[in-house]
Structure 1
Amino acid sequence: MKISFIVVDITAKAGTERTTTLLANTMVRKGHEVRIISLFRQNISPAFFLEKEVGIVYVTSEAYSIHSSPFKRLLRIIRSFFSFREMIRKNDSSLFIGQNFLVNLYLYFSGFSKKSIACEHNLYNIYPLPILFFREYVYKSFYKLVSLTEKDADKFRRRLKNVEVIPNMLTFTPKGEADLTLKRILSIGRLSNQKGYDLLLEAVKYIWKDYPDWHLDIFGEGEMHAFLAEKIKMCNMEKYVFLKGYTQDVISEYLSSSIYVMSSRFEGFPMSLLEATSCGLPVVSFDCPEGPADIIGEDRGILVPPEDISGLKTALLKLMDSLDRRNEYGENGRSFVFQNYNSEAVYKKWDMLFQSFVNSQSK
């Protein structure tokens, strides 16, 4: 089958682009002809590895940034839309897969929604109510809407009948397991309000006196770096909490840690939680909407009520105090994610969707 993925910018270092490259690589290996259509281009090349058989087409060489003024963003969207519409009319793909609401609007207004699958990677309630209703009106015309979690899918199903659930797949298969004797807590994510690192710092600021041989490393970049650095300094945690910036070797960081913590206020589907668990790390996370509850069970980690700072502290101490518990949760989580989120298991769900689409076109 000839498949075209549509993304905002395949050169961006973001979760949706990473997921797209994984799917594209997997589908090429399964014999599909795959192309990625990128609406914008901020950098020279894709941020993540792509098989050489995957074609890439850039609609425009302009960059798209949410930090630009609304007027500039609108102008770039309008320019790229007309270029996209002209390009897609000449495209011979059997099926299009749109990787967020913006690109799905391009497909809709170009008249290609009926031969397209819309994918939603963000929290259901991320938009204001009028946009939520408009989004569902748009998605009625798509062949299918793919959601990452059952909870988000159930919300879409209140008004839509074409909803399927396909989670993200594991991004890698680690060769080893985390050394849970190391007294290191790890967190990876953008330094933004969404990721809740201000809450995490509140949770850990009083634990170091009793656990001076432990420390917390936070990897990521973002607009809250200065605020978080100042908070670490104000709370006298410079010896225990470190903002490490961006890393290209996340696997080594997972494998050299004992606990993974996620303090997000909301998620679409937390890939870092999936990756950490695949490395055998026991995890502590807020039970935020949506995704952590899909990965963490009673015997695979500890879920804490959303934004419960005291509960997050208690959960971390529970794991810090018990190597046996860390080993138990780490092994159970590792087995669970390998069984349910490996590339073959996730691809089977996509393949069933492809077969359904082919059958619908032959009627």
Structure 2
Amino acid sequence: MTDNQGTVSYIIVNNVGGITSVTGNLIRFRGQDAPSQELILLNVEGNSNTVFTHQLLEGINQKTYHFDKNRNWYTAFKELKNELAPGPGVIVSNDLHDLIMLQAFNTGKKVVQIVHDGYNVQLALKFEEVVDKFIAHSRFFFDVLSQLLPHRRSDIVHLPYGIPISGYQKTPNTDRPLRLIFLGRMRESKGIFDLPLIQKYLTEKGIQANWTFIGSGPDKQKLVDQWASYEPARFEAPDSFNEVIKLCSDADIFVFPTHFEGFPVSLLETMSVGVVPVVSDLPGGIREIVSESTGIRCKMGDPISFANAIETLHHDRVLMQTLSHNCLQLVRTNFNAECQSPKYQAFFASCMQENSAPRHMSINKKIGSRLDQPWLPDFITKNLRKFYGSATGKRVNDSV
């Protein structure tokens, strides 16, 4: 498809994490018939997460935009709008910033919001008037959104994403110490501070385990400090997907005591090489693919239940190998990016081809606070906010 038929524009916060992985796979495995693609990474001031400092994908137009929360919203969001490729197309929304922009600025492009989790459901409810179509990864969030927005039911689709399927596969472990792995962003909401407690209970049960932690984030050093009293563990932060998958293939069990999830990429990545998940029992993607035939779901915030599940697999290596085989087959059959990503691209293309005008073209709402005005010079707003602090107006995250 040529550029004059429209561009798919992805706007994401510059974080190393699941949304970035999903977006990267949508682009990388888009297929030959996909529309032109561009990626805008938002470097949000004050973001404590690890960011990309290099080209995420070769062969596409990739830009970065620095978003300063103290600026006049009208100036900042107008600049963001001007970063978009000219002409028709689709904006793929994953977070808050572009949705705020669309309330005040007409881009002439259709808008598709990807609903990853409960946070994105909140965004959909607040900003649905500027969104043309919704994609839910999981059946659970598809059903939730359909119930909450019944008048938009025809605009909501369920479409699982895919991941790259590698040639790696974990080797059976019949009698050696268990190889446990955590893969994810190193922050409290991922349940990382339950991990030392899980190891404590495993030690009390006399179960030897070798741990590998993969990821970065604001709470990583705190976890490293808490782990100091246990057996040495590997803390890794690989740069490439291939390195991540290679490390995963050297594990037996994916331990994921997360407190908040949609459809975690790390779950699919580990299962794709046969690593058995022991994960928090949360609605969404986890319950849809982690069943008695593929892994064990545990009560969230209960390290003892995680230790008990690991103990079960420790004593029943045949069961662990059976679950491993089922994991590998499930992901490779149903979540292959080479199959799923072109389906997304076909959906984006169909949105472009619809004759209806983008919904946000009929919306013109006031955004921000009294310090955010189309006529007010940006330097005045910025200096007032820096001088007086948050009392001078709402922040971006307050808009949800």
Is the structural similarity TM-score above 0.5?
yes
- 2:394 is matched with none
Residue 45 (structure 1) aligned with residue 54 (structure 2): yes
Distance 1:212 1:355, change over 3 A: closer
Distance 1:226 1:176, change over 3 A: closer
- 1:101 is matched with 96
Quick one: higher RCO (CA 8 Å, sep 6+), 1 or 2? 2
Q: Of residues 279, 282, 302 in structure 2, which corresponds to 1:285? A: 279
**Aligned equivalents of 2:198, 2:183: Cα separation in 1:** 17
- 1:168 is matched with 161
Residue 4 (structure 1) aligned with residue 8 (structure 2): yes
Distance 1:321 1:8, change over 3 A: same
Question: Runs of 5+ in structure 2 lacking a partner?
Answer: 45-50, 358-400
Distance 1:158 1:207, change over 3 A: same
Using structure 2 for the length normalisation, give the TM-score.
0.75
- 1:142 is matched with 131
**How is 1:31-42 mapped onto 2 (pairs within 5 angstroms)?**
31-40=34-43
Q: Of residues 30, 42, 56 in structure 1, which corresponds to 2:62? A: 56
**Aligned equivalents of 2:70, 2:143: Cα separation in 1:** 32
- 2:69 is matched with 73
Deviations 1:273-305 (A, max 9, x none): 100000011111011243211221220111112
**Aligned equivalents of 1:309, 1:76: Cα separation in 2:** 46
**Aligned equivalents of 1:113, 1:321: Cα separation in 2:** 60
Q: Of residues 307, 320, 324 in structure 2, which corresponds to 1:313? A: 307
Whichever residue aligns with residue 156 of structure 2, its letter is V
- 2:371 is matched with none
Whichever residue aligns with residue 6 of structure 2, its letter is K
**Aligned equivalents of 1:298, 1:210: Cα separation in 2:** 24
Q: Of residues 299, 303, 317 in structure 2, which corresponds to 1:323? A: 317
- 1:67 is matched with none
Whichever residue aligns with residue 166 of structure 1, its letter is L
Match of 1:257, SS?
Answer: coil
Match of 2:112, SS?
Answer: strand
State, as a whole percentage, how many aligned pairs show the same letter.
Answer: 18
Over alpha carbons, which structure has the higher Rg?
2
Deviations 1:227-254 (A, max 9, x none): 3234334xx41x25x2504123111211
**Aligned equivalents of 2:208, 2:337: Cα separation in 1:** 38
Match of 1:106, SS?
Answer: helix
Whichever residue aligns with residue 162 of structure 2, its letter is M
Distance 1:177 1:224, change over 3 A: same
- The Cα of 1:87 is off from its aligned counterpart by 4.3
Residue 124 (structure 1) aligned with residue 131 (structure 2): no
- 1:25 is matched with 28
Root mean square deviation, CA, Å: 2.8
Contact 1:281/1:326 (<8 A) preserved: no
Using structure 1 for the length normalisation, give the TM-score.
0.82
Deviations 1:101-152 (A, max 9, x none): 322322343234871111233x31579xxxx3x7414213321012222222
Whichever residue aligns with residue 203 of structure 2, its letter is W
Match of 2:319, SS?
Answer: helix
Deviations 1:199-235 (A, max 9, x none): 23222203225545422222223332343234334xx
**Aligned equivalents of 2:255, 2:349: Cα separation in 1:** 39
Residue 151 (structure 1) aligned with residue 144 (structure 2): no
Whichever residue aligns with residue 167 of structure 2, its letter is K
Distance 1:135 1:281, change over 3 A: closer
Match of 1:164, SS?
Answer: strand
Question: Runs of 5+ in structure 1 lacking a partner?
Answer: 65-71
Residue 207 (structure 1) aligned with residue 202 (structure 2): yes
Distance 1:244 1:55, change over 3 A: same
Contact 2:29/2:342 (<8 A) preserved: no
